[in-house]
Structure 1
Amino acid sequence: MENSTATIEKLIEKAEIYSKTTLELCKYEAVYKSADIFSNLAVKVAMTIVVVMFLLLINVGLALWVGQELGEIYYGFFVVGFGYFCLAFLLYIFREEWVKNPVSNFIINKMKNENVL
């Protein structure tokens, strides 16, 4: 009887150690995945800032050029602004397909630890 009791106690002790180890592993895996998602997000934000600055300068030049062609500089800014209004309208209409779904899929794929892009 003592032998079976000792065996059960050892089994319970090993199960406890296993559960603690599994919990620690889950914690580290969650930290790794979170760090991976946020580091990818940081790279995308940095690239977005660079692209936005590039596009800003290109758009100012385009607005000045269009304004010069139309006779008044501010006409060019109106034309470029209206173009962005149209783009914003399209983005609003297709926001699910163009923004929400790709971002959701990116996060889900990263959480599943698959290669994205």
Structure 2
Amino acid sequence: MKTKIEDKATAIENLFEKAENYTKTSVELIKLSAIEKISEAISVLVSHIAIIVLVAFFLFFINIGISLWIGKLIGEYYIGFLIVSFVYLLLGLLIYKYKKKTIENPINELMINTLLKNKIEENEKER
């Protein structure tokens, strides 16, 4: 027959065991959630990179065509390439001047929205 002290000791052991299991489960859940968010962020990044590469190829060949066309109109092909290069220089300077607004902020927002997607959805459901 068990005494009250033994019953309390068994109850405390069970309580510690349940707390340990809860802690292990919570840590595992946090790990899985982090893995999910990281993999989602990487997949979004990879898909955007793929689109950027395809657009870059498109622009590359279009620019060659435009350069050749301008060069043919002017009479010297190298001048067409110089004109298109100058346009890109101006575009590059504008982007550099406004890089915070045009590049950095949208990328930061994309990453934050991707990583905090579940939090945002939960907040919208609560409203």
Same fold, TM-score > 0.5, yes or no: yes
> For the pair shown, which has the larger CA radius of gyration, 1 or 2?
2
Distance in 2, matches of 1:22 and 1:2, equals 30
- Structure 2 unaligned blocks of 5 or more: 121-127
Hey, what does 2:90 align to over in structure 1?
86
1:78 partner letter: L
1:20 partner letter: K
Hey, what does 1:77 align to over in structure 2?
81
TM-score norm. by structure 2 comes to: 0.85
- Trace 1:2-13 onto structure 2 (pairs within 5 A): 2-13=6-17
Distance in 2, matches of 1:56 and 1:77, equals 12
Distance in 1, matches of 2:117 and 2:8, equals 43
1:102 aligns with 2:113: no
Deviation at 1:9, TM superposition (A): 1.6
CA distances 1:57-107 after superposition (whole Å, capped 9, x unpaired): 100000111111122111110110000001110111111111111111111
CA distances 1:8-55 after superposition (whole Å, capped 9, x unpaired): 221111111001001011111111111111111111111111111111
- Trace 1:34-73 onto structure 2 (pairs within 5 A): 34-73=38-77
Deviation at 1:4, TM superposition (A): 2.2
Aligned length: 115
3-state SS in 1 of match to 2:117: coil
Structure number with greater CO (CA < 8 Å, separation at least 6) is 2
TM-score norm. by structure 1 comes to: 0.92
Distance in 2, matches of 1:18 and 1:81, equals 62
Deviation at 1:5, TM superposition (A): 2.3
